[in-house]
Amino acid sequence: MEELLGGGGMGNILMIGAIVIVFYFFMIRPQQKKQKEEKKFREGLKKGDKIVTAGGIHGKISETKEATVTIEVEGGMKIKVNRSSVSMSYSSGDTDGVDELQEKK
């Protein structure tokens, strides 16, 4: 009878360990992988890349520095933003109306 009531200590420890392992592989590891990919993407930005910022501003990189990039938007305006605010890049034809910026220059 005592085995039924007090023998679950090792089983509880194994169950908690299994939950931690599942949590790591389904939550923590994918997030770390995504962060590494984003860091690599931002480090690889170069002059001429077409980008979209986290605020939704579309433009073309005209200058890069260690922590910032200067982007040229429609009308020849230049905006300096942090590299961390660049959310994605795109190629010609991926978005509507963005290619007009390149054709005007």
35 and 7, same domain (yes or no): yes
Tens digit of each residue's pLDDT (9 = 90 or more) over 27-43: 999 999 999 999 999 99
Share of the chain above pLDDT 70, in %: 79
pTM for the model stands at 0.63
Extract the runs of DSSP E, i.e. beta strands, from 8-57.
50-53
pLDDT at 1 exceeding the cut of 60: no
62 and 22, same domain (yes or no): no
Tens digit of each residue's pLDDT (9 = 90 or more) over 53-67: 999 999 999 999 999
Note the pLDDT of residue 7: 57
User: Total domain count for the chain?
Assistant: 2
Which residue segment(s) compose the domain that 35 sits in? 2-42
13 and 62, same domain (yes or no): no
15 and 53, same domain (yes or no): no
Note the pLDDT of residue 6: 52
57 and 96, same domain (yes or no): yes
* More confident of the two residues 99 and 50: 50
Beta carbons within 8 Å of 65's beta carbon, 6+ residues apart: none
**Helix, strand, coil content of the chain in percent (nearest 5):** 50, 25, 25
35 and 77, same domain (yes or no): no
